[in-house]
Structure 1
Amino acid sequence: MKRISVDIGGTFTDCFFVWDETYVEAKALTTHHNLALGFNEALDLACSRAGLDRGTVLTEVDSVRYATTLGTNALIERKGPKVGAIVTHGFEDTIPLSRGRGYGEGLDYSMQQNLPAAERPEPLVPRYLIRSVKERVNSAGTIVARLDPEDVRTVVRELVDAGAEALVVSLVNATENPEHELAIQEIILDEFPAHELGAIPVLLGHQVSGRKGEYVRATSTIVDGFLHEIMFHALSQLSNNLRDAGYGKPMLVIHNSGGMAQMNSTDALQTIHSGPIAGVGAAEHLSNETGLGHVISTDMGGTSFDIGLVPEGGVKHYDFLPTIDRWLVSVPMVHLDTLGAGGGSIASYDRIHNSIKIGPESAGSNPGPACYDRGGLRPTVTDADLLLGYLDPDNYANGYIKLNPKRSRFAVEENLCDQLDMDVLAIARAIKDGVDEQMAIGIGKELRVRGYLPEDFTMLAYGGNGPLHACGIARHAGIKQILAPPFSSVFSACGAGNMKQLHFHERGVHITMYNATSRSLYDKYEEFNAIVEELEARGREDLVRQGFAADDVKYRLELDMRYGNQLLTQAVALDINRMNGVGDVLHMIRTFGDVYSHRFGASSAAPEAGIRVGTVRVASYVDGDVVNFDSLEAGGERTVPTEVSHRKVYFIGQDDSIETPVYDQAALSHERVIPGPAIVTTENTTYLVEPGWRLEPTVQGAVWFLQD
């Protein structure tokens, strides 16, 4: 196996390089103006560590996989083209109204309750760029009012004249019959041919989302259209960079569904949060391989802190109506909770509470924290870590970045000391403790709302800053056991290397699996199987187009089910793909009951209310080679290694500094134990062992944090 996997984050570009039995990790600063430059720098470093030439690597490597936060950043910054929308006549206000509760989507609970301050997000499609066409398809897919081509031409010209640079078409009931959406696309391409100057992207709602729900399908298509241009140019830039360097295969892009595909089979919407989700995929793989049990994955990088949940058995949680930025969309996406808390998170003065506010604003990679000495003037979490003695100024990122403690001290003094009437070290302690608490609250909320207790979980601490803050987070969250996984500093990139090529296809349906009124079971087996076969055919077509044999494609059937008229819908993965009789119907109902009871309690299931299916979904995938994780056990006697130096370190809860032993990479042997307090500095990260904890490395390269 020869593979390059890259996770392009807001601050660092992480590279995980596999060359037969050699595994190499490398990092470089993200170059936002040209992502290819940061990729080249990270790959060059990985090649030098492996003793290989970049040209040789790119001509012989099996695949190159990209995960990127570029789409996320573009949404946050509202950097995108003017998007025009074409809808069914009479539905022009569906998008601006946003189900009446759009003000709260994407906000935390306290902000959702603050109705006097409720403010809808700035629309991606302003009202003047929404036009309607006279047409109508009913819920059964029958055309009630035919489309008028001249009406369409008039609407398209009006939108282009008004400045639209991309067009989305989202018509009522197009998932049941897409004839009119396809006809509008044909008319637009006739007016503005793709091969001529002035051509504009056209996206159709039924192709982006096959689920019912006019508003969420429209917003999904609009977000996709808003990101289309920037993602196309950025990914093309990366692809051309690979081609110029001698790589001749298609570039693979990680999807937020937990899979990946070639660039020509990727929607911009599918790239949102793809990097952190690759880390959740790696956590699932690690849990399955090692029997780790309940896992909460935590990725602390330079810009954000991403939380993923993998209960025992390695089953990820999915969101089928996730909120991206401030917009509700209908794409299957691995559940992820993201906090604006990372090494680059800026600490500022909160005048209302007379305290320190940390994040969500980040210094990123340019200019970066003040200690990077690249022009940053505001204090960050990394500056606090440096002032407290956790980081080695001369050996940060393997000496790639030299840190300047004077800059950190100056930034804290100028921005916080006078306002808070505290000294520099007290403020640094407050920043460290505050960000740890903030992340612990996020973990506790994520677990408790799903019925879990933090003490029952192992926390996976990865990302460049994960092992540095792991003990502090666990202290606040009540977690007793931490694991820094193998390749922890580039664990999300490692997860990208393990991804399958996978596609989700779904269709909204109205199926009553059990009718409580007539006490009858669903019996239209051929109709149900025809829907599944259609979705499997679409998935098979996607994968065959990417070079796979049809016989290698596997399928997993999922249903969105609910009891009676409940609003809550539960996604259920099934172990059968067809319905051939009463026994199969009962098996599906039983599986739904088991999943529902496991999540909400044994007595919560209510089949007497009836059982309904709202969505049929098929995951089509092809298995591939993966990086294997061995057992995390390590037997035998352990000894304390010899430290390489000492330095004064300030810990939370300790009044004075502690003369703390410092170790290097050689100390992380499975024959060693490192009692706290201690610091271990490696090429890509720093392990901070707080008082009351100890480190126990494993053979595989993972490191346990255990309480004494």
Structure 2
Amino acid sequence: MKSTSIRLGADIGGTFTDVVLEKGGGVFSTKVLTTYDAPENAIINGMHQVCAQAGITPDRIGQIIHGTTLATNALIERRGAKTALITTQGFRDVIEMRTESRFEQYDLNLNLPDPLLPRQARFTVTERVNAMGEVMIPLDRADVEAVADRIAQARYDSVAVGLIHSYLNPAHEQMVRDVLTELLPDLSVSISAEVSPQMREYERFNTVVANAYIKPLMASYLGRLEDRLAAEGVGCRVFLMHSGGGITSLSNAAEFPVRLVESGPAGGAVFAAHIAGGYGIDKVLSFDMGGTTAKICLIKNQTPKTSRVFEVARTYRFKKGSGMPISIPVIDMVEIGAGGGSLAHVDSMRQIRVGPESAGSEPGPACYGRSGDKPAVTDADLVLGKLDPDTFAGGSIPLFPDQAKAVLDHHIAQELDTDAVGAAFGIAEVVDENMANAARVHAVENGEDLSEYTMIAFGGAAPLHAGRLCEKLGVDRLIVPPGAGVGSAIGFLRAPYSFEANRSVYMKLSDFDAKVIRDLLTELKREATGFVRTCDAQAEILSEFKVYMRYTGQGWEIPIDLAEDQAMTPDAATFERRFEEEYIKLFARPVAGMDIEITVWSVNATTRPERISPVEPVPAGQPAKPSGMRQIFDPASASFLEAQVIERAAITTGQRATGPAAVTEDETTIIIPSSREAICQPDGCIDVRAKGQGVWT
């Protein structure tokens, strides 16, 4: 019999699928290789493993929360449905023209990425709504029917509808959808007024196209997952993690799959925020490194930073501006192609480059012994002694050091006149510096000083690299929580039900209309709350209000949080004061004499977050007892050092470990550099600090 106190979290990554079962305060977890052809197989496999650990049968699971990279991978690999776009006459090429900005200013041979849909898949109708939402040219049903005939003849599976200014007046988009649904009932249809009702047609069109492109794929996958779970006797509801850091229902996820694009990384940020809340830490650098990518997120006051636009599938060395912009609520993070499976090579300048290509799980790094023939970061970590070949993934995946050395020697060492160890050292330093540089840039863009931050590391590969990353960034404190190797899946179980509704309605403070604002925010609150009610009909729902504001003439807005009384009893002076407060934080001073504009309004409905138990850190006690010793390469001295090997399960509260050391567990290994020392805190976190700072009292 199922129990709502037994919950399962499942995160499909590019290399591993992480599965976590929570039962009666206990957490059981496993990592299995992702099965690309049928991703649900890995979830079922992992579910049986954790159920066996917990001593239960799958039919007792009361809730499943799932996050996946399937949507992201489909966009990156261009393997979605056969999709068409219907737009306003004259705007057929918006998704190809982009914003005309150059993401690499001095590259004379700059190549813009191809649009998701070719020109022949983009159709137009004669209609026009102006910037005030007024109909200038009515839409003729016969025009839509003619386009529907062409779509039927070309056998499209999915259609995106994006008309000019539909975020203000969606009537024409709704009419197109109604006609298509009537004439082509098997066609999947997405309209931008529902997917992303925001100004800026390029971002809005691109978002609705992306939604339509992956909608049939995700609907098929979610249907197969439900069927497989039912066949295993699991009859509970399945929820999906969305990019904004909350949980949504299966039906909402199937209708708006573009909101799942960053679902896995979002779970990790929620996990880090939960840990930060326990320790009362207000400035956290979340570091999530898996098999394919590394994700870095700034968390202030136990709340991850959010955004309403992000990019996926960057094609130019992961450079900002070179990808597809997706305009949805999302946790703001920087993501680079640096994971355990990221492949290394020597370029024409005889420099080591790592990523963004990844070995994934098929074939995986060379050391997996699955026919991988190129060196990956995991191969380098193994040769440097960071990994034990006999205990990787709890012993379920044996590693082969000879195969790792062979590919390192062939592809890197011979090119650079060094040996396999030198090649591995170079790869590790390059990937660590890539991540450190990404963190520095992200911090600078947000006006933050990382030396004031605490790093929280999780993901299968992050604890292997986090200590060295802290050295490079000047971060003094690192926390590696229990279950770090499956952190995102645990984060799914900590996330609230939530949905963010937003709308673009342009207004200047000089034309402030309190009634229009109150009515708009009330409508958005009703819309967001309705979505959350589909997940939980009884829970208390909180509302969070946000507006995006800028000085007149500026090209982009900054987010301004409002208390509910400020939002529902709007006052121009309050809006101006809140804007100037946030503007000064970012740019040091306000601009006198300029009018202020509001462009986007947002309401996030969320259930009350899970209560976080405070942690009282303890001082260092006796040294932890090592289970053995092994040689681990120390990058600071560029040599192997004798290091303690300590089993994490054997460390008790207050026990300490002095670097160099390796703290091992089934899903990951924590490498403590020679410059650091660590202590086990009461909640099981390994708290790593710089030596000699007197911080343990």
Same structural fold, with TM-score higher than 0.5 when normalized by the shorter chain: yes
| Matched residue SS, 2:599 | strand
Residue number among 233, 245, 249 corresponding to 1:246 in the alignment: 233
What is the total number of aligned residue pairs between the two structures?
A: 676
Q: 1:546 to 1:676 in 2, by over 3 A?
A: closer
Specify whether residues 50 and 95 from structure 1 end up closer, same or farther in structure 2 by C-alpha distance, changes over 3 A only: same
Q: Take 2:16 and 2:75, find their aligned partners in 1: how far apart are those partners?
A: 19
For the residues of structure 1 that align with 2:35 and 2:522, how far apart are their CA atoms? 44
CA RMSD of aligned residues (A): 1.9
CA deviation after TM superposition for structure 1 residue 421, in Å: 1.2
Does the alignment pair 1:83 with 2:98? no
The reply on whether 1:50 has 2:42 as its aligned counterpart is no
CA shift, 1:177, in A, is 1.8
Residues of 1 paired with 2:232 and 2:120: CA distance?
A: 46
Name the counterpart of 2:605.
620
From 577, 582, 596, the equivalent of 1:595 is: 582
The change in CA–CA distance for 1:348 and 1:579 in structure 2 (over 3 A counts) is closer
Give the Å deviation of 1:577. 4.8
Q: How many Å apart are 1:113 and its aligned residue?
A: 2.0
Partner of 1:495: 491
Is the contact between residue 521 and residue 568 of structure 2 (CA under 8 Å) also seen in structure 1? no
* Structure 2: unaligned runs, 5 residues or longer: 314-322, 692-697
Report the Cα offset of residue 222 of structure 1: 0.4
1:67 is matched with which residue? 67
- The farther-off stretch of 120-129 and 298-307 is 120-129
Please tell me whether the aligned partners of residues 43 and 54 of structure 1 are also in contact (alpha carbons under 8 angstroms).
yes
Q: What's the CA shift string for 1:543-571, capped at 9, x where partnerless?
A: 3334414x833212111111232223111
- Retained in 1: the 8 A contact 2:35–2:42? yes
Moved more, 411-420 or 201-210: 411-420
- Separation of aligned partners in 1, 2:24 and 2:639: 49
- Unpaired segments ≥5 residues, structure 1: 105-111, 194-198, 516-520
1:137 aligns with 2:129: yes
Instruction: Answer whether contact 1:383 1:408 (CA < 8 A) is retained.
Output: yes
Length-normalised TM-score, structure 1: 0.92
In structure 2, what is the equivalent of residue 8 of structure 1?
12
Are 1:674 and 2:662 counterparts?
Answer: no
| 1:255 counterpart residue number | 242
* SS at 1:657 equivalent: strand
| Structure 2 CA distance for partners of 1:406 and 1:335, relative to 1, 3 Å | same
Partner of 1:665: 648
- By how many angstroms is 1:533 displaced? 1.4
Give the aligned partner of residue 557 of structure 1: 545
**2:437 corresponds to which letter in structure 1?**
I
Structure 1 residue identity aligned to 2:173: E
In the TM superposition, residue 701 of structure 1 has moved relative to its aligned partner by 0.9
Residue matched to 2:195: 208
Give the letter for the 2:602 counterpart. R
Structure 1 residue corresponding to 2:205, chosen from 211, 214, 218: 218
Contact 1:563–1:607 (CA<8 Å) still a contact in 2? no
Q: Does 1:228 align with 2:215?
A: yes
Name the counterpart of 1:271. 260
Choose the corresponding residue for 1:526, options 515, 536, 552.
515
Aligned pairs (5 A) from 1:543-554? 543-549=532-538, 552-554=540-542
- In the other structure, the counterpart of 1:330 is 327
Deviations 1:613-648 (A, max 9, x none): 11111111222646x45415014x511122222222
Question: Are 2:281 and 2:302, in contact at CA under 8 Å, matched by a contact in 1?
Answer: no
**CA distance, structure 1, for counterparts of residue 51 and residue 153 of structure 2:** 51
Question: Any idea what the Cα deviations from partners look like across 1:64-97, whole Å, max 9, x if unmatched?
Answer: 0001111111111111122211111222222221
The change in CA–CA distance for 1:540 and 1:580 in structure 2 (over 3 A counts) is closer
Q: CA deviation at 1:655?
A: 4.9
Partner of 1:157: 149
CA contact (8 A) 2:66 2:492 kept: yes
Question: Cα offset for 1:355?
Answer: 2.0
User: Offset of 1:163 from its aligned partner?
Assistant: 4.5
Alignment pair present for 1:125 and 2:114: no
Q: Which residue of 2 aligns with 1:518?
A: none
1:552–1:646 CA distance, 2 compared to 1 (3 A): closer
- After superposition, give the CA deviation of every residue in 1:311-350 in whole Å (9 maximum; x if it has no partner): 2x12322222222222123212110100111111111121
Distance (whole Å) between structure 2 residues aligned to residue 411 and residue 156 of structure 1: 54
Verify: 1:168 aligned to 2:160, yes or no. yes
- Indicate the residue corresponding to 2:320 in structure 1: none
Counterparts of 1:682 and 1:184, CA distance in 2: 55
CA drift at 1:579? 5.5
- In the alignment, is the contact (CA less than 8 A) between 1:651 and 1:690 conserved in 2? yes
* 3-state SS of 2:548 partner: strand
Is the 2:280–2:614 contact (alpha carbons within 8 Å) kept by the matching residues of 1?
no
Secondary structure of the corresponding residue to residue 116 of structure 1: coil
Aligned counterpart, 1:610 = 595
Residue identity matched to 2:625: T
The letter for the 2-side match of 1:35 is: P
Q: Does residue 1:21 correspond to 2:25, yes or no?
A: yes
2:412 pairs with 416, 426, 449, which one?
Answer: 416
After superposition, residues 287-686 of structure 1 pair within 5 angstroms as 287-311=276-300, 313-325=301-313, 326-351=323-348, 353-513=349-509, 515=510, 522=512, 524-549=513-538, 552-577=540-565, 584-601=571-588, 604-606=589-591, 608-623=593-608, 625=610, 628-631=612-615, 633-635=617-619, 638-686=621-669
In structure 2, relative to structure 1, the CA distance for the partners of 1:290 and 1:384 (3 Å cut) is same
Instruction: State the alpha-carbon separation in 2 of the partners of residues 99 and 653 from structure 1.
Output: 45
Q: Single out whichever of 136-145 and 15-24 deviates more from structure 2.
A: 136-145
**Counterpart contact for 2:518–2:569, Cα < 8 Å:** no
Deviation at 1:24, TM superposition (A): 2.1
1:93 aligns with 2:93: yes
TM-score, normalization by structure 2: 0.93
* SS class of match (1:217): helix
SS for the counterpart of 2:108 is: helix
Kindly report which structure 2 residues correspond to 1:681-700, keeping only aligned pairs within 5 A, or say none.
681-700=664-683
Whether contact under 8 Å (2:10, 2:67) holds in the other structure is: yes
Identity between Structure 1 and Structure 2 (%) = 28
Match of 1:691, as an amino acid? S
Contact 1:129–1:162 (CA<8 Å) still a contact in 2? no
Cα deviation code 1:165-207 (max 9, x no counterpart): 21111111212221211111121122212xxxxx221111101
Cα distance in structure 2, aligned partners of 1:175 and 1:649: 57
AA aligned to 2:260 is T
Contact 2:71 2:257 in 1 (8 A): yes
**Contact in 2 for aligned 1:632/1:700 (Cα 8 Å):** no
CA 320–154 in structure 1, closer or farther in 2 if over 3 Å, else same: same
- Secondary structure, aligned partner of 1:131: strand
The DSSP-based 3-state class of the residue aligned with 1:115 is coil
Kept in 2: contact 1:301–1:343 (CA 8 A): yes
1:699 deviation in Å?
A: 1.0
Supply the AA of the counterpart residue of 2:299.
Answer: V
What code does the residue aligned with 2:251 have?
N
The 8 Å contact of residues 629 and 700 in structure 1, kept in 2 or not, is answered as: no
CA distance in structure 2 between the aligned counterparts of 1:320 and 1:624, rounded to whole angstroms: 21
Distance 1:38 1:307 in 2: 26
For residues 132-170 of structure 1, the C-alpha deviation after alignment (integer angstroms, 9 at most, x for no partner) is 111222223232222222221111222332343211111
